[in-house]
């Protein structure tokens, strides 16, 4: 243990504890901006400076460790003065039009500046204006960037892609797409982790809420909304709802009140995905196609973008099943359109997703008879959903639980856990067991694929299951840096699996790039636990028992992997 004094308080902390952590453990939060634990400890913003008695220069508390006998002041006149100057300098190069910023009210720079009661900035404003393709799902506003380098580090260290880099030197040093590429040329997976780790509004998703409002306004459009599993685990955070209050039913109610014609839960099409992907897996597995390399799940569009650019030769190992979002879109414009007697052209499909990459995935084309268009017409993130609810001035406490519309109403607990790392695998195994043995396993038989904590075991959970004499080796991975390492091990022959689930965002969709942002916190694990809780309490635990799915097969798709299913619910992944 190390003994030191912080702000007159004698404290004792473990060795190798940073001054910032030592202070925090003792109830003294030190302001910070660029710091991201374990990812960005580079002391760039200088906001976390503290005074060390006996030294003239201030030191940063984020990356210097507490030493025996230190006497530290986190809020001395000198510290206050310099911290204030530093923040004023940052503000001089930051577009402070907060009212029109996506992060207003949830901005670390805004909080730090407000806390320091900065009312006037004595410095000349100098904003950097880099051009940007505003049609791309990921938007960067250079005039808001404070060069904290978190995006550079998250993309490099956590996602292993290195899309962002420092560019230039001297006073014009900035952040830009690495290798002097444009963002479209860069191999961006659109995971959105840079957005959720940006302390300010320099990075955000493309706003698609206006498109949705326009569709609602259009009398000729039937607006059909689906809400992804992970959204329910996080949307309430920004609206002051407790997890148990923030049900999916209330989201559906909100959508309806905003003017959607039909509202559905993506859990339904998650079950549909299991029917298709599970059947496909058993087919490819028993036909010996997976002897050398596993089949990979295909529901995560960030992962799909990643494999196409980083491991193109493995693309054929992907399941051909479309993701739940796309399957639902296809079903809405075909089966459902026929049911309600409107043409596919009139259906406007909206999905609410915890994800930025889904905005890219929706570009996928759908051809059906005379119809040529898209499964999905607009994708909004959880954050955009919250903004829509706010702009519709709906009081969250007035929302009521509403069931999804018929005939795609049911959803199993297996579908709900699609939103958490390991969930697709667990759901698939539950049904694969049934398909092989014609009887249900205990619902929790495949719990071993669940992660015991956030990014446990470098985000990889391996498990092996024996269903009679069939042995299935599985791996579940989340986070693209972890994924790259796992794929390299597979490629080198160090490990072998039959079925691998990949989710681009650490912790799965619950930690998605479209989810509410809490600077410095990783909430994926807690949100995931919430989904497991919902699964546990669900009446239906198996995708293959979803009666609405079974009815749809009977009436429309015939059976999994049928010709029609193949045309509408599967895709050839182009490299």
Partner 1 sequence: MSRLEIDSPKRARIVMEELYKDLERRIESSPPGLCPVDMSRAFLELCHAQTCGKCVPCRIGLGQLNHFIKDVLDGKATMETLDIMEQTALSIMESADCAIGYEAAHMVYKGLIGYRDDYEEHIRNGRCTCTYSQPVPCVSLCPAHVDIPGYIALVREGRYADAIRLIRKDNPFPTTCGFICEHPCEARCRRNMVDDSINIRGLKRVAADFAGEVDPPVCAPSTGKKIAVLGGGPGGLSAAYYLQLMGHQATVYEMLPKLGGMLRYGIPNYRLPKDRLEEDVNAILKTGVEVKHGLKIGQDITIQELRNQYDAVLITIGASTDKKMGLEGEDADGVLSAVQFLRNVGRNEIMDLSGKEVAVIGGGNVSMDAVRTAKRLGAKKVSIVYRRRVADMTALPGEIEGAVAEGIELQTLKAPSSLKVNEANHIEGIYVKPQMVSAIRDGRASIKPTGEEDIYIPCDILIVAIGQNIETRHFEEAGIPIERGKILTKSTGAFENMPGVFAGGDCASGPASVIKAIAAAKVVAANIDEYLGYHHEISCDVEIPEARLDDRTPCGRVNLTEREACERVCDFEGVENCMTEKEAKQEAGRCLRCDHFGYGIFKGGREKLW
Ramachandran quadrant class, 8 (left: phi over 0; alpha: psi -120 to 50; beta: rest): left
Q: Three-state SS for 476?
A: strand
- Within residues 296-325, the interface with partner 1 by CB under 8 A covers none
Q: Work out how close the CB of 311 gets to partner 1 at its nearest, in angstroms, rounded to a whole number.
A: 20
Q: Work out how close the CB of 86 gets to partner 1 at its nearest, in angstroms, rounded to a whole number.
A: 16
Sheet holding 347-353, edge to edge: 262-265, 222-227, 347-353, 378-381
- Within residues 403-422, the interface with partner 1 by CB under 8 A covers none
Q: Work out how close the CB of 101 gets to partner 1 at its nearest, in angstroms, rounded to a whole number.
A: 24
Q: Work out how close the CB of 484 gets to partner 1 at its nearest, in angstroms, rounded to a whole number.
A: 17
Q: Is 149 in the site for partner 1 (CB under 8 A)?
A: yes
Among 100, 171, 220, 539, which residue interacts with partner 1 (rule: CB under 8 A)? 171
Q: Work out how close the CB of 147 gets to partner 1 at its nearest, in angstroms, rounded to a whole number.
A: 11
Q: Is the CB of 147 or the CB of 359 nearer to partner 1?
A: 147
- Within residues 114-133, the interface with partner 1 by CB under 8 A covers 130-131
Q: Is 134 in the site for partner 1 (CB under 8 A)?
A: no
Q: Which range of residues in 75-83, 165-173, 247-255, 296-304 is near partner 1 by CB under 8 A?
A: 165-173
Q: Is 59 in the site for partner 1 (CB under 8 A)?
A: yes
Tokens (6 digits) for 21: 């952590």
Say if residues 39 and 150 touch (Cβ distance below 8 Å).
yes
Q: Which range of residues in 48-56, 196-204, 345-353, 437-445 is near partner 1 by CB under 8 A?
A: 48-56
Q: Which long-range contacts (CB under 8 A, 24 or more apart) does 179-183 make?
A: 182/133, 183/132, 183/133, 183/136, 183/138, 183/140
Distance CA 260, CA 247 (A): 18
Q: Three-state SS for 540?
A: coil
Q: Is the CB of 42 or the CB of 394 nearer to partner 1?
A: 42
Tokens (6 digits) for 43: 């002391």
Q: Is the CB of 149 or the CB of 295 nearer to partner 1?
A: 149
DSSP letter at 362 equals: T
The sign of the torsion formed by the CA atoms of 310, 316, 322, 326 equals positive
Distance CA 544, CA 546 (A): 6
Among 4, 47, 52, 246, which residue interacts with partner 1 (rule: CB under 8 A)? 52
Q: Is the CB of 53 or the CB of 217 nearer to partner 1?
A: 53
Q: Is 165 in the site for partner 1 (CB under 8 A)?
A: yes
Q: Work out how close the CB of 167 gets to partner 1 at its nearest, in angstroms, rounded to a whole number.
A: 6
Distance CA 37, CA 18 (A): 11
Q: Work out how close the CB of 10 gets to partner 1 at its nearest, in angstroms, rounded to a whole number.
A: 20
Q: Is the CB of 163 or the CB of 215 nearer to partner 1?
A: 163
Q: Is the CB of 77 or the CB of 170 nearer to partner 1?
A: 170
Among 63, 76, 92, 409, which residue interacts with partner 1 (rule: CB under 8 A)? 63
In the shown chain, the binding pattern of residues 173 to 202 toward partner 1, with x for contact by CB under 8 A and - for none, equals x--x---x----------------------
Among 124, 134, 135, 172, which residue interacts with partner 1 (rule: CB under 8 A)? 172
Distance CA 263, CA 408 (A): 10
Say if residues 58 and 51 touch (Cβ distance below 8 Å).
yes
| Secondary structure string (H, E, C) spanning 397-448 | HHCCCCCCCCCCCCCCHHHHHHHCCCHHHHHHHHHHHHHHHCCCCCCCCCHH
Q: Which range of residues in 49-57, 413-421, 431-439, 495-503 is near partner 1 by CB under 8 A?
A: 49-57
Helix and strand counts by DSSP (H, E) for the chain: 19, 19
Q: Which range of residues in 164-172, 398-406, 497-505, 565-573 is near partner 1 by CB under 8 A?
A: 164-172
Tokens (6 digits) for 521: 């916190």
Distance CA 208, CA 139 (A): 12
Q: Is 43 in the site for partner 1 (CB under 8 A)?
A: yes
Query: What are residue 218's phi and psi, to 5 degrees?
Result: -75, 115
Q: Work out how close the CB of 76 gets to partner 1 at its nearest, in angstroms, rounded to a whole number.
A: 16
Say if residues 335 and 281 touch (Cβ distance below 8 Å).
no
| Secondary structure string (H, E, C) spanning 17-82 | CEHHHHHHHCCCCCCCCCCECCCECCCCCCCCEEEECCCCCCEECCCCECCCCCEEECCCHHHHHH
DSSP letter at 351 equals: E
Q: Is the CB of 391 or the CB of 488 nearer to partner 1?
A: 488
Q: Is 170 in the site for partner 1 (CB under 8 A)?
A: yes
Q: Work out how close the CB of 500 gets to partner 1 at its nearest, in angstroms, rounded to a whole number.
A: 24
Tokens (6 digits) for 119: 């009312």
Q: Is the CB of 43 or the CB of 470 nearer to partner 1?
A: 43
Q: Is 39 in the site for partner 1 (CB under 8 A)?
A: no
Q: Work out how close the CB of 56 gets to partner 1 at its nearest, in angstroms, rounded to a whole number.
A: 5
Q: Which range of residues in 42-50, 328-336, 400-408, 453-461 is near partner 1 by CB under 8 A?
A: 42-50
Q: Is 55 in the site for partner 1 (CB under 8 A)?
A: yes
- The site for partner 1 (CB under 8 A) is made up of 41-44, 52, 55-57, 59, 63-65, 67, 130-131, 149, 165-173, 176, 180
């Amino acid at each position: 243990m190390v003994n030191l004094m912080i702000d007159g308080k004698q404290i004792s902390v473990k060795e190798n504890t940073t001054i910032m952590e030592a202070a925090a453990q003792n109830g003294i939060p030190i302001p910070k901006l660029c710091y991201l634990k374990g990812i960005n400890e580079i002391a760039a913003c200088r906001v976390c400076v503290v005074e060390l008695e006996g030294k003239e220069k201030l030191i940063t508390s984020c990356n210097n460790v507490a030493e025996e006998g230190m006497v530290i002041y986190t809020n001395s006149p000198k510290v206050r003065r310099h911290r204030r100057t530093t923040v004023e300098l940052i503000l001089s190069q930051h577009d402070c039009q907060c009212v029109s910023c996506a992060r207003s009210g949830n901005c670390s720079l805004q909080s730090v500046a407000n806390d320091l009661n900065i009312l006037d900035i004595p410095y000349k404003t100098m904003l950097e204006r880099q051009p940007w393709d505003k049609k791309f799902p990921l938007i960067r506003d250079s005039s808001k960037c404070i060069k904290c380098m978190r995006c550079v580090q998250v993309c490099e260290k956590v996602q292993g892609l290195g899309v962002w880099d420092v560019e230039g030197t001297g006073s014009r040093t900035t952040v830009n797409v690495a290798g002097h590429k444009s963002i479209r040329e860069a191999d961006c997976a659109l995971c959105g982790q840079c957005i959720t780790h940006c302390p300010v509004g320099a990075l955000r998703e493309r706003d698609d809420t206006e498109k949705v409002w326009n569709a609602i306004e259009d009398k000729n459009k039937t607006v059909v909304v689906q809400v992804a599993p992970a959204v329910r685990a996080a949307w309430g955070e920004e609206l002051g709802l407790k997890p148990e209050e923030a049900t999916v039913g209330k989201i559906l109610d909100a959508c309806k009140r905003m003017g959607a014609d039909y509202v559905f839960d993506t859990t339904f099409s998650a079950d549909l995905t299991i029917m298709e992907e599970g059947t496909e897996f058993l087919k490819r597995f028993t036909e010996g196609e997976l002897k050398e390399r596993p089949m990979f799940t295909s529901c995560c569009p960030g992962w799909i973008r990643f494999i196409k650019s980083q491991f193109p030769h493995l693309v054929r190992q992907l399941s051909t099943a479309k993701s739940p979002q796309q399957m639902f879109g296809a079903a809405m414009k075909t089966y459902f359109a026929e049911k309600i007697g409107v043409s596919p052209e009139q259906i406007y499909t909206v999905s609410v997703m915890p994800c930025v990459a889904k905005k890219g995935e929706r570009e996928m084309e759908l051809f059906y008879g005379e119809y040529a268009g898209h499964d999905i017409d607009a994708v909004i993130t959880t954050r955009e959903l919250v903004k829509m609810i706010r702009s519709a001035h709906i009081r969250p406490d007035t929302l009521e639980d509403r069931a999804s519309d018929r005939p795609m109403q049911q959803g199993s607990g297996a579908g709900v856990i699609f939103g958490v790392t390991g969930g697709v695998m667990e759901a698939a195994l539950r049904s694969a067991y049934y398909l092989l043995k014609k009887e249900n396993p205990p619902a929790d038989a495949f719990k071993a694929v669940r992660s015991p904590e956030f990014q446990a075991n470098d985000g990889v959970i391996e498990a092996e299951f024996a269903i009679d004499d069939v042995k299935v080796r599985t791996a579940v991975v989340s986070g693209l840096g972890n994924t790259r390492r796992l794929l390299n091990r597979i490629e080198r022959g160090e490990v072998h699996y039959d079925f691998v689930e990949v989710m681009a965002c650490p912790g799965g969709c619950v930690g998605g790039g479209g989810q509410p942002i809490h600077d410095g916190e990783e909430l994926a694990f807690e949100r995931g636990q919430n989904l497991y809780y919902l699964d546990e309490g669900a009446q239906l635990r198996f995708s293959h028992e979803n009666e609405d799915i079974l009815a749809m097969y009977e009436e429309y798709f015939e059976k999994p992997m049928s010709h029609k299913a193949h045309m509408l619910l599967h895709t050839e992944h182009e490299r």
